[in-house]
Amino acid sequence: MIVAEKKPIEEVIAMVKDFRKILIAGCNECVTVCEAGGKREVGILASALRMYFMQQGNKMEIDEVTLERQCDHEYLEEIRNTIDQYDAVLSLACGVGVQFMAEKYFNKPVYPGVNTCFMGVTEERGVWTERCQGCGQCILDRTGGICPISRCAKRLLNGPCGGSTKGKCEISNDLPCAWQLIIDRLKELGRLDEYERIAPVKDWSTERAGGPRKVVREDVRQ
């Protein structure tokens, strides 16, 4: 999933304080799972803002909605008939949802209520960690199913570096060394001999470096 974090409320207040009526729009997908922008967080943020603006003597009206997804036309259309009554939308979706909302409702200011962080997993409740950077050319078949691009601080394709200590990365004792994980797993799979294959220089043109990306599937296109 896409993992996001709530923005500090001061930052949110600074964005919306000059409006009279806003819509806080949550998303029922990734940001719900990572507890940053689902129905529950929409409710909590709406209550906190109402309380703050009331104390300030500011008559701010705040409505709440949580869409199934903000990255699909179909669900964003659900607010087509009501959006005109709001001065602005505060979207708690990831950056993708915020942008798609802004594209669809071109004359409506849309503000981000979360910081979008990475593609990752729930390691345990309240702990999410990165697993993929969407490089566009998966190499997990060669690295024991562990991605050095997203999990090594230096993105080394031929690691580990000299900073790997007791299974940890040189940048933090909290961070496992990706190459230690890769070696442990290759060993478990009886494939440690593959470690000595040199990974060639990577083609990064399918990654961010190649510019904004697009996938077109003619077979499913309508």
Partner 1 sequence: MSVKTPSKLEKILDSDQLAITSECGPPRGSDPNAITKKAELIKNHVDAINITDNQTSVTRLCSLASCIHLKLMGLEPTLQMVVRDRNRIALQSDILGAASFDIHNILCLSGDHQKFGDCPQGQNVFDIDSMQLIQTVRHMRDEGKFLGGDDIARPPRMFVGAAANPFADPFEIRVPRLAKKVAAGAEFIQTQCIYNLDKFELWMKMARDRGLHERVYIMAGVTPFKSAGMAKYMKNRVPGMDVPDEVVKRMAGVPKEKQPEEGINICVETIQRLKECEGVRGFHIMAIEWEEKVPEIVERSGLYPRPQVE
Cβ atoms 135, 207 nearer than 8 A: yes
Position 173, amino acid: N
CB of 158 to partner 1, least distance (A): 4
Cβ atoms 193, 183 nearer than 8 A: no
39 vs 155, beta carbon nearer partner 1: 155
Region 155-214 residues binding partner 1, contact defined as CB under 8 A? 155-167, 170-171, 177, 180, 183-184, 192, 195-196, 198-202, 204
**Side by side, which strands form the sheet with 110-112?**
61-67, 21-27, 88-91, 110-112
Region 45-64 residues binding partner 1, contact defined as CB under 8 A? none
88 vs 161, beta carbon nearer partner 1: 161
Name the segment binding partner 1 (CB under 8 A); options: 74-82, 101-109, 115-123, 147-155: 147-155
Burial 144-153 (b: 16+ CB within 10 A, else e): bebbbbbbbe
Number of chain residues interacting with partner 1 (CB under 8 A):
30
The total of other beta-carbon atoms located within 10 Å of residue 133's CB is 15
Evaluate the omega torsion of the peptide bond into residue 200 and state whether it is cis, within 30 degrees of 0: no
CB of 122 to partner 1, least distance (A): 26
196 vs 219, beta carbon nearer partner 1: 196
The 72-111 site mask, x for binding partner 1 (CB under 8 A), equals: ----------------------------------------
CB of 101 to partner 1, least distance (A): 29
CB of 14 to partner 1, least distance (A): 22
198 vs 216, beta carbon nearer partner 1: 198
CB of 156 to partner 1, least distance (A): 5
95 vs 167, beta carbon nearer partner 1: 167
What is the rounded CA–CA span in Å between residue 96 and residue 101? 9
CB of 213 to partner 1, least distance (A): 18
Best CA proximity match to 142, nearest among 188, 82, 182, 84:
182
Determine the straight-line distance between the first and last CA of the chain, rounded to whole angstroms: 27
Per-residue DSSP letters for 89-147? EEE-S-HHHHHHHHHHSTTS-EEE-EEEEEEEEEEETTEEEEEE---SS--GGGTTT--
Position 69, amino acid: R
201 vs 220, beta carbon nearer partner 1: 201
Which residues bind to partner 1, rule: CB under 8 A? 153-167, 170-171, 177, 180, 183-184, 192, 195-196, 198-202, 204
